[in-house]
Structure 1
Amino acid sequence: MRHGEYKTPGGKLVQVDCEVIDGRLHHVQVTGDFFLEPPEALDAIAQALEDAPVDASEEELAQRIQRALERFGDGLELLGFSPEAVARATRRAIE
């Protein structure tokens, strides 16, 4: 299992744990001391990263996350982190 962390400018910690199998991300888990509403959005973030290629850039990873979160519309609330923060923690886990 690989582990990456990123502390956002606001001081919130984002952690990503994952495995790399055949050059792709698997068993992705996203945790941290941030706030997210609705809670199901956390699963959507992890699912967005599942099967992503390990050579995906931070920008590509953040776009995958953003697309997955669009389905929550105006009901989505991210406090203390962003798709970019998760992408950065993911890249750190990979590297």
Structure 2
Amino acid sequence: MAEIISDLRQDDVEDTVPGGIAADRLRSIIERIEKLEEERKARGDDISQVFAEAKGAGFDVKAIKQLLRIRKQTTEEVEQLENLVDLYRHALGM
């Protein structure tokens, strides 16, 4: 806690309340986080709508989600995972 207080800028000191908290700065940070959380929820809703659109167009949503995961990986990571899955399939007689 002391570390956070020591990180406050000098111009915030005049807005402090008892306890050494820069109230205006704290309020600003909290409000920014709340706004970002609202935006994240809105984006989540937008993504859900796109998945619903894909499903309505006849696409398999699970396959799309798998493709999204794969696209985030490097080629080496994808190859490594595919080799491991093949090894496990072979071990299970599949």
TM-score (norm 1): 0.21
Structure of larger gyration radius: 2
- Could you say which structure has the higher strand fraction? 1
- Could you say which structure has the higher helix fraction? 2
TM-score (norm 2): 0.21
Ranked by relative contact order (alpha carbons within 8 Å, sequence separation 6 or more), the top structure is 1
